[in-house]
Structure 1
Amino acid sequence: MAGGPLRAQEATVAGRVERARDGRASPVTGATVVLHRVSAVAQGPIDTTRSDAAGRFAFRYAADTGAVYLVSARYAGIEYFAAPLPGRPGARDTGLVLAVHDTSSAVPVALAARSLVVTRPEGEGGRTVLDVFVLVNGSDLTRVAADTAVPVWAAPLPARITEPEVGPGDFTTSSVRLRDGAVALVASVAPGVRQLLLEYHLAAGQRELLVPFATPVDSVSLLLEDARATVDDPGFARGDTATIEGRQYRHWSGRIRSPGTLRVVLSPPRTDRLPLLALVALVALGFGAALWRFRARRAPAPAPAPAAPPPDANAILEELAALDARFAGREAELPPAEWQAYQRDRARLKAALEAQLAARAPRA
């Protein structure tokens, strides 16, 4: 009798591992599939199996409402993860598809969009810059490095910046190198859209920010909290001005048509300090994924509401960044249902962004 109620509380997940190539999917036999449990107090694998001849796998587990569960499959040395599973007793998900890919050290990873937020002078006169790179692998192969000395993607960083750090995004700190005036990515990059986030600082008295671009970029956006700052490029237009916490933020946007340097002219420094709450609101306006320093002062966020896919890449990028501003890095403090809703909405927006950007990326 004791086994009946206990079994009724078990959750079930089942699905298949598929290899995507040339627009077709084929089952993967013998792939190692792992079920992971992630909670505020512990995380790690709790079960493992191998996919059968049809690529199928299944797990039963004692679900915990205070945890999130993930399924991963290892293929060609790369670990691929599915979207989070609900930590709900009795939950059943029998249609999970884990897509894996062959690898290549030649398919390109392109910079499809870039967004920067530049604060006005803070504290003793320095400024903070939040820099978001949107990368796209438009092939159906996972890009890997040819060797440890060659990154899968790299880009120059502005001169005279200090304290560059990697923020929460799709890549860990260990997979990003920040040296010699450049950012270099050494992690594998699966097909689709990925975000790399950086924060760095400008010294007090610095009168310009010179942003180098090694390749053309279709979409570049800037939010300048400095009222007198301008973008010195005829291809960039000033957009709407937003008032947040009584402060004005200027939006500039344009595209980089050829390699070169984008010049942002800054005004003389002031000594007043930017309230952290204002920066939180600023980032939520369109570049929220980079806000990891100031997370502790945010109020609890409501669950994300489903929304129709935005009509273009810029709108999708802004919605995705705003969503990340409210939820990124807050898994431990949010109810599992909210966190899962965030993950689903983020996956939906990234899929929509991928559809907009993949066509622009060069293919192998």
Structure 2
Amino acid sequence: MPRLPSFLRLLALTLVVATATATATATALTAQPRAVDGRVRRPVNVNADSTGMGPAAGTWVTLHRVGKDTAGPIDSVRTDAQGHYRFRYTPFGSGDGVYFASTTWGGIAYFTPPLKNAESRGDDAEITVFDTTSVRFQLTVKGRHFIVGKSDTTQFRTVIEVFELSNDSLRTLVATDTTSPMPTWSIAIPASALDVRANDGEISPDAFVAGPGRVSVYSPIAPGIKQVAFSYKVPNSSFPLSMRAEGGAVVFEVLLEEPQGFVTGKGFANVDPVALEGRTFRRFLSQDVQPNAELIIELPSSGAPARNLYIAGLLVAIGLLMMVVLMRSMQRRAASRVAVEPTMRPRESDAPWHERLAQEIAALDETYARIAEPSDTVKQAYNTRRTELKGALAAALADLGTRR
């Protein structure tokens, strides 16, 4: 594309700046004032046997704006005796700005949903806070999704795990504040897993730690449902993959991109396949999975590597057979040198040793020629064995010439 003359480029830039300025000005002029009328609640003991929700009085609530141009707090106010708070504000800046209110309770931040309406009240402006505890208790796995992709060129498969964790208590679970803090949640992963990382979700990567055969989460988990997602890679050699449903699951879903993949485990059923991002997955589903229930994920190995592995094994077997034949022949020849004259030839029913070596080389070459795309392992096995046979053949011919 030809470049514009300098004065035209300057004119175009001026028009872009002018348009952006006009848009921002128009947005500021047409923006209508908004109101937020909400409350902050917390669990309270109604009596010795029950807990209800009461006001969180005297806590600071902050109104925030987050946009591409600016981000930060706009205003703050304390809740009254009934836990109510109010804000009045006028949107400003770029049109992509998001507004929300937050408060901090027990060192944990809690937020409203994005404030989209001219008047936000009720559930849209309500914030529920909870006391914290570091005493570990079991989180309910409402949903577990185990997704296995196809094998890549390095013979690895990408696995994505997604959990919906439910804190059914009235306290926010936090990591212990010690030199060796206990995580708020942890789960086992295959020992062969590599490149483990947190995915986009409700868990900050800073609060996600991967160790040998295990991942741990250290972020606070408030009452309700929180999603945890992470991914890793496992080699094809890890399959069939045997695993335990640690902690169980209300719903356990396994998705396999391999058309011939299969899941074996109590309660798992093959249901209709699903399409994700243009890729089709076999789907296996089980409900009310008991803690530590066992399942096995079976996947077919890649055709070419399996065939190459078979052929490599065949070549190794041929090599071992030839070594046995060679050792026996050498033993017979050594014995013949002691019992008979050196010029005595083998029986006519026995093929000469050099001819048998030549036949083995020909058979080895014929087997190798049938391989369309031999792997490096096959090539190395073939070249090594052929060199050995050629050396043995040269020695046999030299010995034959000497005897003649």
TM-score range, shorter-chain basis? 0.5 to 0.7
Which residue of 183, 186, 191 maps to 1:159?
191
Amino acid at match of 1:43: A
For 1:141 and 1:92, locate their aligned partners in 2 and report how far apart those are by CA, in whole Å.
31
Tell me the equivalent position of 1:126.
156
Greater share of helix: 2
Partner of 1:15: 38
Which residue matches 1:207?
239
Matches within 5 A, 1:193-204: 193-204=225-236
| 1:266-300 Cα deviation digits (max 9, x unpaired) | 111268xxxxxxxxxxxxxxxxxxxxxxxxxxxxx
Q: TM-score, normalised by structure 1?
A: 0.66
Partner of 2:204: 172
Q: 1:60 is matched with which residue?
A: 88
Contact 1:105 1:143 in 2 (8 A): yes
Structure 2 CA distance for aligned equivalents of residues 215 and 244 of structure 1: 27
Query: 1:98 maps to what in 2?
Result: 127
Name the SS for the 2:150 alignment partner: coil
CA drift at 1:206: 4.0
Instruction: Give the TM-score of the pair, scaled to structure 2.
Output: 0.60
2:103 equivalent to 1:70: no
Unaligned runs of 5+ in 2: 1-27, 45-49, 305-404
The 8 Å contact of residues 265 and 294 in structure 2, kept in 1 or not, is answered as: no
Give the secondary-structure state (helix, strand or coil) at the position aligned to 1:174.
helix
Structure 1 residue 205: Cα displacement = 4.6
Of 99, 108, 130 in structure 1, the residue corresponding to residue 138 of structure 2 is 108
Secondary structure of the residue aligned to 2:206 is helix
Report if the CA contact (8 A) 2:164-2:225 is conserved.
yes
Larger Rg: 2
Q: Give unmatched runs, 5+ long, in structure 1.
A: 272-364
CA distance in 2, matches of 1:76, 1:248: 46
Shift of 1:7: 11
Higher RCO (C-alpha 8 Å, min separation 6) = 1
Distance in 2, Cα, partners of 1:208 & 1:233: 13
Name the amino acid aligned to 2:43. Answer: A
Residue identity matched to 2:39 = R
Distance apart, 1:132 and its partner CA? 0.4
Measured in 2, the distance between the counterparts of 1:206 and 1:108 equals 29
**Counterpart of 2:128 in structure 1: which amino acid?**
A
1:45 to 73, 91, 101: 73
Counterparts of 1:258 and 1:243 in 2: how far apart (Å)?
29
Are residues 112 and 248 of structure 1, via their aligned partners in 2, closer, same or farther at CA, if it must alter by over 3 Å?
Answer: closer
Q: Distance in 1 between matches of 2:119 and 2:210?
A: 43
**Cα deviation per residue 1:309-339 (whole Å; 9 max; x = unaligned)?**
xxxxxxxxxxxxxxxxxxxxxxxxxxxxxxx
The CA deviation at 1:209 is 2.8
The equivalent residue for 2:261 is 229
- Within-5 A mapping of 1:294-313: none
Instruction: Report the counterpart of residue 61 of structure 2 in structure 1.
Output: 33
Equivalences, count: 265
Q: Is the CA contact (8 Å cut-off) linking 1:125 and 1:270 kept in structure 2?
A: no
Instruction: Describe the SS at the equivalent of 2:259.
Output: coil
1:27: Cα distance to partner? 1.1
Deviation at 1:15, TM superposition (A): 1.0
Cα distance in 1 between the residues matched to 2:248 and 2:110: 30
Superposition pairs of residues 274-285 of structure 1, within 5 angstroms: none
Distance in 1 between the 2:33 and 2:262 partners? 58
